[in-house]
């Protein structure tokens, strides 16, 4: 398919003007490898750099499509139908995308090559019915049969049943309760809204409004074909023992249902108003909420139910922001196809692209890098957000993932932006250094008590939110992870702070988190290959010698899971099934992560590295890009997976660059 717009709603970006088609990377500076592999690596890196430069927007940023699964598309159509703003062209284009993602067995998966997923299948089926597909058509009948075989609507996740309840296809009484009065729980009290990760918090607050008001706008058809027993669609489930956490929360949910029928009216009204203010205060300048599609969808619904009409500026801008999540393509039949991104990743893509190009030998003062640095500098967030609840005295200075998300900068993007900026020779170095200092102070200040870093908040480690019956949609808290902590440690090493006690504490935490196999768990990328590919370069950049036992164990593990074709791959099923750890079809991005770790560990001359470099060179397309249908990004482990379309470009170029030019930093060796 040929893209006609990207997720910003703008035409495809034009190539950066200066040096895009004639750029020559610096000659390799690392000792030459075997002639065949060296030549292949030089050629592949040059082509990849040209391809990446041509994709830069004239403002300086990069952004690849962020592909998830059809629930985004289905819920977008359901929202438009609920609000009465659906139109034939949008519905038809979205339906074409949903149909195209259905597999031969009638199901939809949440990642390429994965198993059918019940909630995704139900939502896709309902969206296609709204688009006019007849339930007797073969593709619909196959989907309905599979859904029934796997428990029907009653076995789907809470979010799916909320969407169905909005149209009268499920009873609100049969959903877990989450009252808006949760807004009044003190910040120190268990299950207050700041015990949830930022993505869950932004979603749960508007959903408390929806849950309290329980609207129904009857759908135009029944869904009996999706129940195992239409006469008894939701048979009662046995209570867990009262002494268990599950039993405790089941009984709490029953009590909340009683309260819903007999609420304290003044308190309920006040809670709804408080939730509305909280939502409106967090709307970004572009009309969205947190730069993420799901919270934006539920915020629009909640405010609309509270009396905001569709012409109100808040809702008007909110609806307009949702259009920017749409990626339009032209299908093989010439008809428009519409995919919805869950969010957009320009800051992340841009800093990774800068690092890739710089490490591949693009001159540090190249206009493309300077433009990118200027754009990133303008995106730095200098106002407080929700993170101040846990760090009230910390000065802001981070970066967010998206175009507009000032409320929720994240530690991972901030560390990677700093690493990118330190690679650029900017004409105003004082401006860069001031931004870097602010960012480093903020990132370090967001450290959790255990010495490590989560993504968005400090000490967001409560285990209670995940136990709520309402929260069955994936990870809802944000504890420290090895990959984010590694990026902060690497940033500190680049800033010459590898001996700082906070860096040393982070290193100690990483060493303690290493698996017996030698790998590290990957929270935000798939999976142990990503975690290991993040940690090893950080440890060696911070001064651990390549001979350190942790580094040698990581090298041994990576070597043991290399595929016969020379690449590396790991299937998302490794999050649930240990048999999949380190196993999967080879991908360009995962091969690059493994190579980045091995190169950092001093394995440049090893057979594993030579085979990995050759795999990248031989699988590259003539246009300088790699094909990667597999999902190698992680939103929630197993529950929500991402195919970052730029990963297949930036990480292979980074790995090839480091093979040709050596590691980008060399900190003094640490003791022990």
* CB-CB neighbours of 145 under 10 Å: 13
* Spatial distance between the Cα atoms of 130 and 124, rounded to a whole number of angstroms: 10
Q: What is the CA radius of gyration of the chain?
A: 25
- H/E element holding 94? helix 88-101
Token digits for 671? 């003791």
183 in helix, strand or coil? helix
* Spatial distance between the Cα atoms of 468 and 565, rounded to a whole number of angstroms: 45
Of residues 2, 505, 465, 375, the one with CA closest to residue 189: 465
Of residues 559, 507, 490, 504, the one with CA closest to residue 529: 559
Residue showing tokens 């190249």: 366
Residue 602 Rama label (left phi>0; alpha psi -120 to 50; beta) = left
Q: Is 483 a catalytic residue?
A: no
**H-only helix segments in 482-636:** 482-494, 501-513, 528-541, 549-560, 588-600, 607-619
* Spatial distance between the Cα atoms of 414 and 369, rounded to a whole number of angstroms: 17
Catalytic residue among 73, 349, 406, 412: 412
What phi and psi, each to the nearest 5 degrees, are found at residue 595? -65, -40
Token digits for 359? 């490490």
Whether 239 contacts 250, CB under 8 Å: yes
Token digits for 549? 């036992």
Catalytic site residues? 412
């Amino acid at each position: 398919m040929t893209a006609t717009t990207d997720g910003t709603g703008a035409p495809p970006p034009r190539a950066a003007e200066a040096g895009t088609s004639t750029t020559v990377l610096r000659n390799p500076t690392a000792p030459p490898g075997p002639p065949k592999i060296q030549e292949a690596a030089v050629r592949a890196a040059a082509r990849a750099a040209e391809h990446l430069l041509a994709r830069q927007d004239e403002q300086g940023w990069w952004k690849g499509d962020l592909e998830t699964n059809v629930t985004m598309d289905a819920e977008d159509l359901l929202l438009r139908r609920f609000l009465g703003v659906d139109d034939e062209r949008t519905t038809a284009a979205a339906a074409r995308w949903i149909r195209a993602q259905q597999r031969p067995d009638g199901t939809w998966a949440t990642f390429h090559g994965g198993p059918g997923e019940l909630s995704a299948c139900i939502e896709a089926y309902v969206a296609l019915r709204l688009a006019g597909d007849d339930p007797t058509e073969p593709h619909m009948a196959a989907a309905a049969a599979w859904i029934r075989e796997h428990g029907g609507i009653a076995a789907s996740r809470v979010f799916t049943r909320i969407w169905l309840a909005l149209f009268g296809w499920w009873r609100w009484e049969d959903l877990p309760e989450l009252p808006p009065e949760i807004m009044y729980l003190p910040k120190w009290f268990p299950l207050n809204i700041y015990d949830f990760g930022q993505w869950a918090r932004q979603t749960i607050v508007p959903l408390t409004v929806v849950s309290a008001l329980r609207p129904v706008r009857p759908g135009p058809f029944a869904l009996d074909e999706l129940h195992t027993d239409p006469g008894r669609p939701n048979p009662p489930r046995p209570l867990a023992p009262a002494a268990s956490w599950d039993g405790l929360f089941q009984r709490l949910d029953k009590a909340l249902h009683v309260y819903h029928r007999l609420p304290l009216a003044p308190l309920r009204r006040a809670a709804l108003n408080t939730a509305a203010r909280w939502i409106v205060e967090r709307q970004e300048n572009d009309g969205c909420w947190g730069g993420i599609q799901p919270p934006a969808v539920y915020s629009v619904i909640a405010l609309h139910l509270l009396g905001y009409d569709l012409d109100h500026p808040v809702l008007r801008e909110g609806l307009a922001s949702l259009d920017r999540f749409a990626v339009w393509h032209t299908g093989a039949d010439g008809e428009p196809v519409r995919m919805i991104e869950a969010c957009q990743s320009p800051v992340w893509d841009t800093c990774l692209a800068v690092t890739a190009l710089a490490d591949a030998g693009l001159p540090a003062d190249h206009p493309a890098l300077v433009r990118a640095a200027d754009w990133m500098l303008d995106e730095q967030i200098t106002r407080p957000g929700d993170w101040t609840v846990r760090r009230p005295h910390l000065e802001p200075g981070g970066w967010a993932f998206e175009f507009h998300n000032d409320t929720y900068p994240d530690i991972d993007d901030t560390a990677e932006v700093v690493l990118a900026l330190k690679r650029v020779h900017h004409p105003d170095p004082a401006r860069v250094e001031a931004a870097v200092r602010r960012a480093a102070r903020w990132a370090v200040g967001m450290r959790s008590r255990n010495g490590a870093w989560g993504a968005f908040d400090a000490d967001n480690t409560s285990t209670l939110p995940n136990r709520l019956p309402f929260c069955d949609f994936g990870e809802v808290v944000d504890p420290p992870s090895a990959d984010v902590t590694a990026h902060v440690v690497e940033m500190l090493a680049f800033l010459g702070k590898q001996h700082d006690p906070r860096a040393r504490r982070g290193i100690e935490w990483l060493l303690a988190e290493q698996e017996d196999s030698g790998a590290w768990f990957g929270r935000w990328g798939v999976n142990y290959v990503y975690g290991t590919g993040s940690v090893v370069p950080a440890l060696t950049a911070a001064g651990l010698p390549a001979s350190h036992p942790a580094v040698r164990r990581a090298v041994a593990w990576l070597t043991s899971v290399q595929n016969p074709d020379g690449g590396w791959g790991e299937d998302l099923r490794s999050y649930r099934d240990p048999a999949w750890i380190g196993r999967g079809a080879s991908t360009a991005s995962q091969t690059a992560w493994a190579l980045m770790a091995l190169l950092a560990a001093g394995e440049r001359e090893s057979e594993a590295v030579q085979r990995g470099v050759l795999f990248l060179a031989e699988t590259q397309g003539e246009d300088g890009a790699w094909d990667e249908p597999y999902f190698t990004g992680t939103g929630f482990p197993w529950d929500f997976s991402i195919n970052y379309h730029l990963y297949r470009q930036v990480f292979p170029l980074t790995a090839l660059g480091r093979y040709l030019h050596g590691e980008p930093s060399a900190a003094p060796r640490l003791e022990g």
